[in-house]
Amino acid sequence: MSIFNEISENLQKGKAKTVKELVQQAINEGYPAKQILEEGLLVGMGVVGEKFKNNDVFVPEVLVAARAMNIGAALLKPLLMEAGVEASGRVCIGTVKGDLHDIGKNLVKMMMEGKGLEVVDLGTDVPPEKFIETAQEQGCQIICCSALLTTTMGMMEEVVALADKAGIRDNIKIMVGGAPVTESFCRKIGADKYSADAASAADAAVEICKTLIIEQEERGSL
Amino acid sequence: MTQKELLFSALRHEVTERAPWVPFAGVHAGALIGADAIELLTNEDVLVKALLEVNRLYKPDGQPVVFDLQLEAEILGCQLLWAKDGPPSVANHPLADTMTVPCRCTLPKPEDGRLPMVLSAMRRMKEAVGETTALYGLICGPFTLASHLRGNDIFMDMYDDEEYVKDLLGYCADCGKLMSDYFIEAGMDVIAVVDPLVSQISSAHFEEFLTDPFVDLFAHIKKKGAFSSFFVCGDATRNIEVMCITKPDSISVDENVDILASKTITDKYNILIGGNIPLTSIMLHGTQQDNMKYVVDLLAKVKEYKNLIIAPGCDMPYAVPIDNVIGITQAVLQTAEVREMVKNYVSVEDDIDIELPDYAHLTKPLVEVFTLDSATCAACTYMMGAANVAKEYFGDKIDMVEYKFTVKENIARCKKIGVKNLPSIYINGKLKFSSIIPSKEKLEAAINEVL
């Protein structure tokens, strides 16, 4: 078994200590950090995401796998920066104002990081203005809003309205999700994308970032 | 047989003449009397008044007295974030930074937190409606309570320190036993152990950590002479079987679970299953017709009324239109008639020629009362009653007529006028009251306006 497979397999089992040792071993053996990240850690997290989507694994399994990934990624971070490797996109995420639930939001964050995105976590009970300010200040391509309550999901509409007012909708897309949120609700409030689960949200975010970055580059080259 | 006896019979797994109906009106109860969730969950008089209104309008066979999973957590040191239109949320986790299990001496006593208010409300409800309505006391399930205390780290702890998780769950199950004792003593007939987080773990984790505390808890409730129910939220499909093994009398699921598929499992264990009217898409955002249709369609799919309760998927959102719950009530209580109504509603076309009154040129005020059927629908009876009182007061000065939805021509009339919800009162062709029964003064004032 290649060292990348070993990293992936152990990450899927949530074995943080082993993953850390294997990542260090791969570094010592001279593998590029980008390859260790993409072929080891991200592949493993991708498998976990897929299993989560298919109801084969659940919240605890995802959390321990993500912890293993973060420990491995921490070793790689300085090397990636040194090599000038950039994240494939930047996202800010939070649970909307009045809502303190964060399990779903955390899962989405982990899945997105597992897809190589940089995620700015605003936490819970996040006012609409905070989403907009952060996305603008930190150059995010996506704002992700989470809500678990029927009474707080309406806050997402305010985020959309503020984004409209700020004139940022061409450059920053708004994703929504959470137990009571549906595709039709997403359309109704004018958000850009609804995802039913954390893994799908991560896939969608990668696609959105890719499209936006290409568009921005094209605009820049005109 | 009283409505309570019907529910008890269902909980004893007997065949019943109709499926029992248990509306989970938690914070929504407040909406019936214009009280917000904070008033409802902190003021005993408001709570009792709201619950009596639930009982009056929705004719429940069983009804929860308080739906607040944060009651125990608050006593055990969690701070709460209150909302006007929803139950409070836990804002901090006292065990987040300390992997300890609190001393049993910290467990709730009847005089702690909001328990005195809740227990007193339970006693008053028992006195007021306990003869005919089964009352549900809801406790926070051990796993959800553990997560309130420890935070999301409880999930990681399941890998890092299994013994700690088991100890903490033991503490939380003991809390559940004490709460059950208090609630049973206050007259509750059914103890519902509400544990939404159960849907977030695998069956293997359930068996490793939750089977023992739940078996223990349900055995305790049985020993104390009450029925038990295991409430779960989210897609708990895979865990239905392991939940059955803990031996509750009943299980309640939301719309994420295919209730009929799950019923094949619960039937195997002779456990009753309840649910699962969708809270948001149907109850909150659907029409009265959608709600009635969902229920009659569900009931049409069972071959007999055994081991099934009709209930919302979970605690109803605050702002669920009252009309929708009235429609559900009617669909459960008069299933055959409502099935016919729903069928007629779809099939009645504009070809039934209905001549509407010339509202602009009436010789005297015309009060039109649109009902599902004032003889069977409780809310309709009260609406019609209010109209009759007004008619008596005004005598010949006004005209009054009832249109029952059971008659095809009346459905066509409803469609033509644009009546969306029943019961409702129109005066001179204009909607004046929908579902909320007007007081004598309000109705008289509305009529006087056009006299």
* Burial of B361 from C-beta contacts in 10 A (0-12 / 13-18 / 19+): exposed
**CATH no. for residue A43?**
1.10.1240.10
A contacts of B280 (beta carbons < 8 Å): 150, 180, 182
Contact A59 B317 (CB under 8 A): no
In a shared domain, residues A207 and A134: yes
Whole-angstrom distance, CA of residue A216 vs CA of residue B197: 42
Q: Same domain for A119 and A213?
A: yes
Nearest to A14 among B159, B200, B235 (CB): B159
- CATH code of residue A178: 3.40.50.280
More confident residue, B349 or A111: A111
Residue percentage of chain B with pLDDT more than 90: 83
Give the range among A164-168, B118-122, B166-170, B431-435 with minimum mean pLDDT. Answer: B431-435
Same domain, yes or no: A144 and A204: yes
Closest C-alpha among A80, A90, A91, A76 to residue A41: A76
Instruction: At B164, list the tokens.
Output: 């700690």
A63 and A20 co-located in one domain: yes
Measured between alpha carbons, how far is B235 from A197 in angstroms, rounded to an integer?
12
Using an 8 Å Cβ cutoff, are B240 and B263 in contact?
no
Residue pair B269/B218 in contact (Cβ under 8 Å)? The answer is no
Same structural domain, A77 and A98: no
Domain shared by A105 and A180, yes or no: yes
**What architecture is domain B359-450?**
3-Layer(aba) Sandwich (3.40)
A103 contacts A59 by C-beta, under 8 angstroms:
yes
Lowest mean pLDDT among A109-113, B181-185, B254-258, B374-378: B374-378
The conformational region for residue A175 under phi > 0 = left, psi -120 to 50 = alpha, else beta, is beta
Q: Which amino acid is at B362?
A: L
How far apart CA B212 and CA A41 sit, in angstroms, is 36
Same domain as A199, residue A135? yes
**Is B424 or A86 the better-scoring residue by pLDDT?**
B424
Q: Distance, in angstroms, between A59 CA and closest chain B CA?
A: 6
pLDDT of residue A16: 94
Q: Mean pLDDT over residues B293-317, rounded?
A: 95
Same domain, A21 and A60: yes
What pLDDT, on the 0 to 100 scale, is given for residue A221? 56
> Domain of A204?
90-221
pLDDT digits (tens, 9 = 90+) for A5-17: 999 999 999 999 9
| Nearest partner of B415 among B329, B367, B356, B364, judged by Cα | B356
Q: Does residue A196 sit in the same domain as residue A96? A: yes
Which residue, of A53, A82, A111, is where some domain finishes? A82
Per DSSP, the residues of A110-163 read HHHHTTT-EEEE--SSB-HHHHHHHHHHTT-SEEEEE---TTTTTHHHHHHHHH
Residues A93, A105: contact at Cβ < 8 Å? yes
Is the pLDDT at B447 greater than 80? The verdict is: yes
DSSP letter string, B161-197:
-HHHHHHHHHHHHHHHHHHHHHHHHTT-SEEEEE-GG
Pair A73, A94 in one domain: no
User: What predicted TM-score, i.e. pTM, was given to this entire model?
Assistant: 0.88
**Are the C-beta atoms of B21 and B34 separated by less than 8 Å?**
no
Predicted ipTM of the assembly: 0.80
A153 and A135 share one domain: yes
End-to-end CA distance of chain B: 47
Q: Which two tokens stand for residue B415?
A: 């469609």
Flag whether pLDDT at B379 surpasses 80: yes
| pLDDT the model gives residue B349 | 63
Low-confidence ranges of chain A (pLDDT < 70): 221-222
* Neighbouring residues of B285: CB distance < 8 A, sequence distance ≥ 6: none
Assess contact for A9 and A44: CB atoms under 8 A.
yes
Query: How do residues B390-417 score in pLDDT, each as one tens digit?
Result: 999 999 999 999 999 888 888 889 888 8
Q: Is the Cβ pair B202, A61 closer than 8 Å?
A: yes
Residues of chain B with CATH 3.20.20.210: 3-342
- pLDDT of res. B409: 87
CATH topology of domain B3-342: TIM Barrel (3.20.20)
Domain boundary among A58, A82, A106: A82
Reported as a pLDDT band with limits 50, 70 and 90, residue B350 is low
Residues A77 and A94 in one domain: no
Residue among B86, B152, B200 whose CB faces A102 most closely: B152
pLDDT tens figures, A153-172: 889 999 999 999 999 999 99
* The pLDDT of residue B256: 87
pLDDT tens digit sequence for B85-126: 999 999 999 999 999 999 999 999 999 999 999 999 999 999
Q: CB B86 to CB A179 under 8 A? A: no
Q: Does any CB of chain A come closer than 8 Å to the CB of residue B86?
A: yes
User: Where exactly does CATH 3.40.30.10 map onto chain B?
Assistant: 359-450
Which chain B positions have a beta carbon within 8 Å of A125's beta carbon? 81
CA nearest B338: which of B384, B301, B288, B303? Answer: B288
Residue B36 has pLDDT above 70, yes or no: yes
The pLDDT value recorded for residue A2 is: 93
Q: Which of A34, A54, A82 is the last residue of a domain?
A: A82
Determine, for residues A101 and B89 on separate chains, whether the beta-carbon distance falls below 8 Å.
yes
At residue A149, the pLDDT reads 84
Residue B219 has pLDDT above 70, yes or no: yes
Average of per-residue pLDDT across B143-149? 96
Question: What's the pLDDT score for residue A199?
Answer: 86
Number of separate domains in chain A: 2
**Residue with tokens 């669920």, as numbered in its chain:** B320
